[in-house]
């Protein structure tokens, strides 16, 4: 059996979040999408982001929801197949209303950039071209 990961993220406006991630080229599994949440497919059969309304997200925890625009609890990092894909994804995110929290990082063998989505969740995109020196 292949392992799968479901990253659960609270969102303020589910429809706007779906529009944002659709602009980046992501699709949603209709079987697990309704007015409370949307299952964003990052990689077929293995990686998903569950975008959950804050009210619904609260039913899974007794803890307060972190205000992602103010604090960072997690950085979600996705690999890309090229530097161009990294740059293209960030450009799409910025055009869709996201922000860029920091400058690109170029370590020779690894190139990365990041964007914050509409709710302030940080997404790291990385291209690894080889082994570290």
Q: What is the pLDDT of residues 30-54, one digit of tens each?
A: 999 999 999 999 998 899 999 999 9
CB 111 within 8 A of CB 129: yes
Q: What is the C-alpha to C-alpha distance for residues 53 and 10, in angstroms, rounded to an integer? A: 6
CB 24 within 8 A of CB 92: yes
Percent of the chain beyond pLDDT 70?
A: 99
pLDDT at 2: 81
pLDDT at 45: 86
> What are the beta bridge partners of residue 124?
77, 114
pTM score of the predicted model: 0.91
Q: What is the mean pLDDT of the chain?
A: 95
User: Domain limits of the chain?
Assistant: 5-128
Q: What is the C-alpha to C-alpha distance for residues 80 and 35, in angstroms, rounded to an integer? A: 31
CATH class assigned to 5-128: alpha beta
pLDDT at 12: 97
The three-state secondary structure class of 54 is helix
């Amino acid at each position: 059996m292949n392992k799968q990961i479901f990253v659960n993220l609270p969102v303020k406006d589910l429809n706007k979040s779906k529009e944002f991630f659709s602009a980046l080229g992501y699709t949603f599994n209709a079987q697990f999408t309704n007015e409370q949440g949307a299952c964003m497919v990052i990689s077929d059969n293995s990686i998903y982001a569950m975008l959950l309304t804050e009210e619904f997200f609260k039913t899974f925890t007794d803890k307060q929801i972190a205000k992602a625009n103010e604090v960072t609890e997690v950085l979600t990092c996705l690999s890309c197949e090229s530097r161009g894909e990294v740059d293209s994804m960030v450009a799409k995110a910025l055009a869709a209303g996201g922000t860029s929290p920091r400058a690109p990082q170029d370590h020779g063998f690894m190139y990365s950039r990041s964007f914050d989505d509409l709710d302030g969740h940080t997404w790291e995109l990385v291209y690894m071209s080889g082994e570290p020196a």
